[in-house]
């Protein structure tokens, strides 16, 4: 996404793209429904915990570790094979997201660095900083063209400036742009998809749209499927109004599906308490 031009709030301008207002309204209604569920008044902490687990499972699935939810619950060791390490990284990021909200608006690049450190769980020199020229990127499931390191640096700074300056854009728009930009840039040598989806979640929580973190978009992204996810990302990378609107709508649908998942959890808890 270009962050230059005469418009002082380019994120807000995206809100006027065709269909985006409808997506924003649909997301708001879906989120309001789950927040209005009677079980939320008494057991919101349980819903938040379950949403974090299911969100981590969904994000890991999109990064190649598509495990059943009960397998994620059962396992305690995530240091084995590659899939287990991906799942462990997703779980760590899900736990970390809520701890970084106060830092995000002041220093988003610091938060992104921290997320990469948490995901990689390594002290290697290339961890926790944007990749440098010549460093390979381990992100086999994202196939859009990879920007060079110099372009990454400039676009990351531009994205951070937008977040720090603030925007009147709806939370859905901001979250979708943060998510899409990080996927397009792949600023780190690894774990970019996991970091991008966690950053999306941080925006949704910090914006006040989903303050209790009970509408995990990662669940929806996984449910919509990797092919749909990558096709929508192609639209974002194209930079066309139609492509950007399609990506925002895709992210909106993912949030709605996350809200639906937590509504189902509420219903199950309510039946158990009856």
Paired strand residues for 190: 138
pLDDT for 273: 59
The answer to whether the beta carbons of residues 171 and 256 sit under 8 Å apart is: no
Q: What is the mean pLDDT of residues 229-233?
A: 98
Q: What is the mean pLDDT of residues 132-147?
A: 93
Taking only the tens place, the pLDDT of each residue in 94-112 is: 999 989 999 999 999 999 9
The answer to whether the beta carbons of residues 99 and 106 sit under 8 Å apart is: no
Whether 141 shows a pLDDT value over 50: the answer reads yes
Mean pLDDT (the chain, rounded): 94
pLDDT for 140: 85
Residue in 184, 153, 257 with CA at minimum distance from that of residue 214: 257
d(CA 66, CA 71): 10
Structure tokens at 56: 């981590």
Taking only the tens place, the pLDDT of each residue in 82-95 is: 999 999 999 999 99
Look up tokens 């799942």; give the residue. 87
pLDDT for 120: 95
Ramachandran sector of residue 193 (left: φ over 0; alpha: ψ -120 to 50; beta: rest): alpha
**Between 173 and 76, the higher pLDDT residue:** 173
Structure tokens at 35: 């927040």
Helix/strand/coil (H/E/C) assignment for every residue in the chain: CCCCCCCCCHHHHHCCCCCHHHHHHHHHHHHHHHHCCCCHHHHHHHHHHHHHHHHHHHHHHHCCCCCCHHHHHHCCCCCCCHHHHHHHHHHHHHHHHHHHHHHHCCCHHHHHHHHHHHHHCCCCCCCCCCCCCCCCCECCCCCCCCCCHHHHHHHHHHHHHHHHHCCCCCHHHHHHHHHHHHHHHCCCCECHHHHHHHHHHHHHHHCCCCCCCCCCHHHHHHHHCHHHHHHHHHHHHHCCHHHHHHHHHHHHHHHHHHHHHHHHHHHHHHHHHC
Whether 265 shows a pLDDT value over 50: the answer reads yes
Whether 2 shows a pLDDT value over 80: the answer reads no
Q: What percent of the chain stands above pLDDT 90?
A: 90
pLDDT for 80: 80
d(CA 95, CA 24): 27
pTM reported for the whole predicted model: 0.95
Taking only the tens place, the pLDDT of each residue in 175-190 is: 999 999 999 999 999 9
Whether 1 shows a pLDDT value over 80: the answer reads no
**pLDDT-based confidence at residue 6 (cuts at 50, 70, 90):** very low
Q: What is the mean pLDDT of residues 121-147?
A: 93
Whether 158 shows a pLDDT value over 70: the answer reads yes
Q: How far is CA 101 from the centre of its chain?
A: 14
**pLDDT-based confidence at residue 77 (cuts at 50, 70, 90):** confident
**Number of neighbouring beta carbons within 10 Å of residue 237:** 19
Structure tokens at 144: 């859009």
**Number of neighbouring beta carbons within 10 Å of residue 170:** 24
**Between 65 and 3, the higher pLDDT residue:** 65
Q: What is the mean pLDDT of residues 12-36?
A: 97
């Amino acid at each position: 996404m270009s962050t230059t031009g005469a418009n002082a709030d380019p994120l807000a301008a995206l809100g006027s793209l065709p269909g985006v207002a409808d997506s924003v309204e649909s997301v708001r209604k879906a989120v309001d429904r789950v927040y209005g569920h009677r079980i939320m008044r008494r057991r919101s902490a349980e819903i938040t915990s379950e949403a974090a687990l299911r969100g981590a499972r969904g994000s890991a699935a999109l990064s190649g570790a598509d495990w059943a939810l009960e397998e994620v619950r059962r396992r305690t060791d995530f240091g084995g094979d590659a899939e287990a390490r991906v799942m462990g990284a997703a779980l760590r990021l899900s736990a970390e997201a809520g701890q970084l909200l106060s830092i995000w608006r002041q220093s988003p690049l610091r938060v992104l660095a921290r997320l990469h450190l948490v995901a990689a769980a390594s002290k290697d020199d290339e961890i926790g900083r944007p990749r440098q020229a010549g460093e390979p990127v381990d992100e086999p499931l994202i196939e859009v063209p990879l920007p060079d390191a110099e372009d990454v640096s400039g676009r990351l700074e531009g994205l951070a400036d937008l977040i720090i300056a603030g925007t009147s854009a709806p939370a859905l728009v901001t979250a979708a742009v943060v998510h899409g930009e990080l996927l397009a840039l792949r600023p780190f040598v690894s774990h970019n998809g996991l970091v991008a989806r966690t950053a999306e979640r941080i925006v949704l929580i910090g914006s006040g749209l989903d303050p209790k973190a009970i509408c995990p978009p990662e669940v929806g992204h996984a449910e919509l499927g990797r092919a749909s996810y990558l096709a929508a990302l192609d639209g974002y990378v194209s930079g066309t109004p139609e492509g950007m609107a399609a990506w925002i709508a895709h992210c909106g649908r993912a949030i709605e599906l996350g809200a639906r998942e937590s509504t189902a959890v509420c219903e199950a808890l309510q039946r158990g308490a009856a």
